[in-house]
Amino acid sequence: MDVKDYDIGDIDMAWCPGCGNFSIIKIIKRSLAELEITPSDVVFVSGIGQAAKLPHYLKCNFFNGLHGRSVPVATAIKATNPRLTVIADSGDGCNYGEGGNHFIHGIRRNPDLLHLVHDNMIYGLTKGQASPTSMKGMVTPVQVDGVILEPFNPLTTAIALNASFVARAYCGDQDKAVDIVKEAIQHEGYALVDMLQPCPSFNEINTYKWYKENTYYLEDDHDRTDRSKAFEVATDLDRLALGVLYTREKPTFEGQQQVYSKEQTPLWKRGQHDPDTLRELIKKHRD
Amino acid sequence: MFYIIGISIVLAGQAGQGIQTVERLLTRILKLDGFHVFATKEYMSRVRGGANSTEIRVSSEPVRAYVDAIDILIPIDKEAMKRLEPRIGTGTLIVGDTSYLGDVNNLLEVPITELAKDLGNKIYSNIIAVGICCGMLDVDMNLAKDYVRTFFKEKDDDIISKNVEAIEVGFKRGKDARDTNLISLDISKDDSIKDDLLLHGGEAISLGAVAGGCNFISSYPMSPSTAVLVSLAQKTEELDIISEQAEDEISAINMALGAWYAGARAMITTSGGGFALMTEGLSLAGMIESPVVMHLAQRPGPATGLPTRTEQGDLALALHGGHGEFPRIIIAPATIEECFYLTNESFNLADEYQVPVIILTDQYTIDSYYNISSLDPTKVENTRHFIKTGEEYHRYTITESGISPRGIPGYGKGLVCVDSDEHDQQGHITENFTVRKQQMDKRLRKLDGFFKNMQEPAYHGSESPGTLVVGWGSTYHAIREAINRVGDESIAHVHYSILHPLHPSTGDILNKAKKVVIVESNATSQFGRYIRAETGIKTDATILKYTGEPFSVEDIVKRLKEEI
Ligand SMILES: Cc1ncc(C[n+]2csc(CCOP(=O)(O)OP(=O)(O)O)c2C)c(N)n1
Ligand SMILES: [Mg+2]
């Protein structure tokens, strides 16, 4: 497949000049193309925010649902039709704020998804309020004296919950980001990619320059099965580690459903429930 | 001597004392022996202690409604008596022993606890109570013993034989009372009902759902709606169903929408508080034009209210829940049969019209049952409404009916794009005002053809009545029996099981009556106000109950007599 196969032609994109989302959409297209996934086999599920508009700008099936709710929707789509490649794709506010509970329980369920979080450490669409990942002290029109809340750490949270794949990427490094995203898509089970992204319009702290200076790539010998080590790396907020921090093979949510114990056919392809079985179930109520 | 035709037996005790086992055993044994039965339970929101009771009506004819009157009361402990005080009349025979009941009128002295202890354990008290009832009703003893044996078949032999003995001990006491003419119960048996079904509303809803092709349920536990989740979860062995307990109701409804999007037939089950959390998702279903079936089992609110009690207080929530304007269908089954068939139908309606269908029940419906002859899982023809998409597929194509062919991802060459933002025909986000209006108009005309194939509201009695009683949902049988008891030919009854859209015949029906009286289990007559909003007709009188208890036949008789 070619990157162009995901182009939808002339469309009015709602992103600001210099926005990290332009890089992220390229990273996504390249990853899908290199993995030979056809547009009709992939479903993007997004919430609301600037990040969440991404599925509108490429050729794919999409469910652009409510703010914060992409993970439950994506989980159900994958469970209903495991043949689809499902990507939950939204912003940091969407996933870690409004959807925080789904983030936690999505990890516990372990559906085979890529959970891609555009982490610009700000609420972009609503014009620059603090997000759960905003750094302490960041002044916004709402956080007038600067953020006083401890920043939410998605990576330590995911590792603490024994997530099956935990990674951090930076959209300014496309090649490396593509490698991480591809691996996350191929990974069987829930895969978090926290994608660091500058927001030139509202986040004056976490700029392209800041990311360059405050991130580093994990060494090749990093042992991703070592949970304590991964946790330790993830706690470091002075220097943000990039790469795959932690992986853990686990049975998937859909893989453990009774409906797939005998056959893999998606639910829509199966007929109605067998009337004789239904009659038997009803008959049980005779005594 | 008590001479009673068609009786009500109430068994009462603390949570954890096995009242539910008694209800189950007794209703099954009686039905298998040819008695018509009705049962409903009321219980406290706790796991142990308190005072719970179950009412079982036994009759020669079908009985389907709750009555206040208690003919035979079997309290397994003292607390139960206090709570049931208002329902104990001069005709109530109380069965038990003075050791815990003290000095009461009309006592049939049976030292239940002592007899149980003689068998080795107090826990046999409830089975002795079953035996007493069987003896009084002249039940086939062997049938009762066989049933008990099968019921406890998983237990040790010793326990099984103790339970059979308990039935015998109780039976003898009941039969003695009968033989000595202390009581006379003139209830005839009807062999033709032995194969009838006994299932409560919750079970009927879940069977209706699978008959309708339901293969996905995501929900969060909340009384009294949980019965449906449990029942569907337990069918995942035999049927292709994915059942998931979500982390909250918000997740549950969003999962259901994801499942429909990918081609499943999904439902959720919840109660008022959970439904309130789901309203954003309900609105999403409206916008993306997703089918979804939502079972809302009502309990009294506001807030946590009375978790285990009944009310019809959430009609306004079902009607108006969710921001923005979008079409929906609201159904309120009036009978066990309707719990089954209308739930089945809900999946087809949701799929055909691409709208949310809300099934409005209540604790009373969920927990009550009576014998019914049969349920046919193939009676409602299931129709599937998604298409194989072509390359140029657009999810929101403007059509005359407003219904755009629904594709699902992975079936056909097209891309299926749905968006909670206002969108164009392709499903892409838009802020074009013309497109916005086109899509709004498209969505809002989807139900224009809805009544083509739908049944009229149930109507009983004269077409130009003196008094027309209007009811909806679970009050049906209580109203029927009350009108029969009042015995006045000038009273008619119209009953709604499909609440919204309101049947277009409503104005005409109401206008023909001299006086319109509405019966609702809520404080503000929500259906009455809705009818007025839709037809301009104001009901003349209301019969409302919102204590948390179901309407009894007597409640309605009393108020009806005041109104005619
Ligand atoms: C229930 C709800 N609450 C609030 C909003 C408003 N809202 C839209 S996007 C957004 C935050 C977006 O931040 P983020 O998810 O980080 O995305 P970004 O725009 O930064 O990409 C908010 C608060 C909404 N759409 N729905
Ligand atoms: Mg953001």
Query: Residues with beta carbon < 5 A to ion ligand 2?
Result: A 91-93, 120, 124
User: Is the ipTM value over 0.95, yes or no?
Assistant: yes
Tell me: pLDDT of B524 over 60.
yes
Number of domains in chain B: 4
Contact A167, A179 (CB under 8 A): no
Ligand 1 centroid from CA A3, angstroms:
29
**Angstrom distance (rounded) from CA B71 to CA B89:** 8
Is residue B284 located within the same domain as residue B304?
yes
- Polymer length in residues for chain B: 564
pTM over 0.80? The answer is yes
User: A14: which chain B residues are within 8 Å (Cβ-Cβ)?
Assistant: 429
Is residue B467 located within the same domain as residue B522?
yes
pLDDT at A235: 98
- Give the pLDDT mean for A230-258: 97
State the amino acid at position A32 in one-letter form: L
Is residue B361 located within the same domain as residue B275?
yes
Q: Is B259 an 8 Å CB contact of chain A?
A: yes
- Give the pLDDT mean for B506-512: 97
Tell me: pLDDT of B162 over 60.
yes
What are B465-491's pLDDT values in tens digits? 999 999 999 999 999 999 999 999 999
User: What CATH number did the domain enclosing B50 receive?
Assistant: 3.40.920.10
Mean residue pLDDT across chain B: 95
Mean residue pLDDT across chain A: 97
The β-bridge relationship of strands B7-15 and B467-472 is unpaired
What are A30-76's pLDDT values in tens digits? 999 999 999 999 999 999 999 999 999 999 999 999 999 999 999 99
Number of domains in chain A: 1
- Give B1's pLDDT tier (boundaries 50, 70, 90): very low
Q: Which of B471, B467, B523 is nearest to B497 (CA)?
A: B471
- Give the pLDDT mean for A90-115: 98
Is residue B104 located within the same domain as residue B229?
no
Record the tokens describing residue B244, joined without a space: 């998931």
Helix ranges (DSSP H) in B219-305: 226-233, 249-261, 272-288
- Give the pLDDT mean for B20-38: 96
Q: Which helix (H) or strand (E) element contains residue B208?
A: helix B201-211
User: What CATH number did the domain enclosing A239 receive?
Assistant: 3.40.50.970
Q: Tell me which of B167, B191, B215 is where a domain ends.
A: B191
Q: Which of A56, A81, A259 sits opposite B428 (nearest CB)?
A: A56
CA distances from A221 to A162, A163, A234 (A): 21, 21, 16
**Angstrom distance (rounded) from CA B411 to CA B417:** 13
Cβ of B258 within 8 Å of Cβ of A74? The answer is: yes
For residue A128, what are the domain limits?
A: 3-286
Tell me: pLDDT of B261 over 90.
yes
Cβ of A102 within 8 Å of Cβ of B247? The answer is: yes
- Tokens 């019965």 belong to which residue? B227
- Give the pLDDT mean for B392-400: 98
Record the tokens describing residue B146, joined without a space: 């066989």
Is residue B466 located within the same domain as residue B526?
yes
Q: Which helix (H) or strand (E) element contains residue B93?
A: strand B93-96
pLDDT at B129: 94
List B471's β-bridge partners, or say none: B495
What are B100-150's pLDDT values in tens digits? 888 888 999 999 999 999 999 999 999 999 999 999 999 999 999 999 999
Is residue B436 located within the same domain as residue B473?
no
Contact B242, B264 (CB under 8 A): yes
What are B337-383's pLDDT values in tens digits? 999 999 999 999 999 999 999 999 999 999 999 999 999 999 999 99
Is residue B122 located within the same domain as residue B206?
no
**Where does ligand 1 bind, in terms of residues with CB under 6 Å?**
A 48-51, 67, 90-94, 118, 120, 122-126, 131
Q: Which helix (H) or strand (E) element contains residue A266?
A: none
What are B381-394's pLDDT values in tens digits? 999 999 999 999 99
Q: What is the DSSP string of A96-163?
A: IIITHHHHHHHHHH--S-EEEEEE-SSBTTTTSB--TTPPTT---SSSTT---SPPP-HHHHHHHTT-
Is residue B179 located within the same domain as residue B211?
no
Contact A106, A60 (CB under 8 A): no
User: B411: which chain A residues are within 8 Å (Cβ-Cβ)?
Assistant: 268
Ligand 2 centroid from CA A194, angstroms:
11
Q: Which of B488, B484, B481 is nearest to B467 (CA)?
A: B488
Least confident of B155-159, B163-167, B180-184, B440-444: B180-184
pLDDT at B15: 81
pLDDT at B80: 79
Which carries the bigger pLDDT value, residue A74 or residue A9? A74
Could you give the 3-state DSSP secondary structure of residue B72? strand
- Give B6's pLDDT tier (boundaries 50, 70, 90): confident
> What secondary structure letter does DSSP report for A187?
S
pLDDT at A206: 97
Spell out where chain A has E strands. 42-46, 61-64, 85-91, 114-119, 165-170, 191-196, 215-217, 240-247
Is residue B127 located within the same domain as residue B205?
no
Tell me: pLDDT of B4 over 50.
no
Is residue B390 located within the same domain as residue B285?
no
For residue B504, what are the domain limits?
A: 458-563
Tell me: pLDDT of B281 over 80.
yes
Q: Which residue of B has its CA nearest to A53?
A: B429
pLDDT at B98: 84
> What secondary structure letter does DSSP report for A167?
E
List B292's β-bridge partners, or say none: B356
Record the tokens describing residue B71, joined without a space: 């003919």
List B470's β-bridge partners, or say none: B494, B518
Q: Which ligand is nearest to the CA of A20?
A: 1
Q: Tell me which of B329, B347, B379 is where a domain ends.
A: B379
User: What CATH number did the domain enclosing B552 receive?
Assistant: 3.40.50.920
List B498's β-bridge partners, or say none: B331
Is residue B433 located within the same domain as residue B475?
no
Is residue B347 located within the same domain as residue B401?
no
User: B280: which chain A residues are within 8 Å (Cβ-Cβ)?
Assistant: 66
Question: Which mutation among A90, A98, A206 tests ligand 1's pocket best, with the greatest number of atoms within 8 A of CB?
Answer: A98
